[in-house]
Amino acid sequence: MKYWAAALMSAGALLPAACSQPEPGTPVEFSRACALENEKKIIAVSGFLKPAGSVFCSNHGGRMECGFTLGETADAKKGFNAYIEQGSGANTVDKLKSGYRREDLKIRDSAGNVINPAEKVRLTGRMNVAPDVCFLQVTRIDR
């Protein structure tokens, strides 16, 4: 009986670790995010999200994603594409209606809270890099 109790206690101690969220990706400086060495790696990079003129949503690899530009600063003219899953939970963007306005954008962080588009965020996801192509498939958004 003692052995069963010990085995159950050991198994119970492992459950929280099995249910926790995955570790954030490898931190990468913004200026190095699009380096070929980051191809298919899970990275974490900080910057400011903004729509690239308009937000285009499409099905990429089995999930509906919406494209944004991640810039190094709030007023950056350049950056790279960050694709965020469309949805209503944590780490998603609400489905946009035709004729939306910037204030209609609702992007949620890893806690499910709506972020202010003017605040700096840390995005984690799989980086896709090739000559003249650089985008991040976002899996986590942190403040």
Q: Domains of the chain, with CATH numbers?
A: 24-142 (2.40.50.200)
Mean pLDDT across the stretch 14-24?
Answer: 50
Mean pLDDT rounded to a whole number for the chain? 86
pLDDT of 21 = 60
Q: Tell me the percentage of the chain whose pLDDT exceeds 90.
A: 66
The confidence band for 24, taking pLDDT boundaries of 50, 70 and 90, is low
pLDDT at 109: 97
Dihedral of CA atoms 37, 41, 44, 45 in degrees, nearest 10, equals 40
Structure token digits, residue 129: 């890099």
pLDDT confidence of residue 65: 96
The per-residue pLDDT for range 105-117, each reduced to its tens digit, is: 999 999 999 999 8
Section 20-25 average pLDDT: 63
pLDDT band at 51 (very low <50, low <70, confident <90, very high): confident
Closest CA to 87 of 99, 79, 95: 95
Question: Cα(19)–Cα(16) distance, rounded to whole angstroms?
Answer: 5
12 vs 76, higher pLDDT:
76
How far apart are alpha carbons 126 and 143 in whole angstroms?
A: 19
DSSP secondary structure of 24-73 = P-EE--GGGTT-GGGTT-EEEEEEEEE-SSS--EEEETTEEEEEEEEESS
Predicted TM-score of the model (pTM):
0.82
Q: Which residue's entry shows tokens 């380096």?
A: 35
Asked whether residue 98 carries a pLDDT value surpassing 60, the answer given is yes
- Give Cβ neighbours of residue 98 (< 8 Å, ≥ 6 apart): none
CA dihedral sign of residues 90, 25, 49, 97: negative
Residue 60 pLDDT class (50, 70, 90 cuts): confident
- Close Cβ partners of 4 (under 8 Å, ≥ 6 residues apart): none
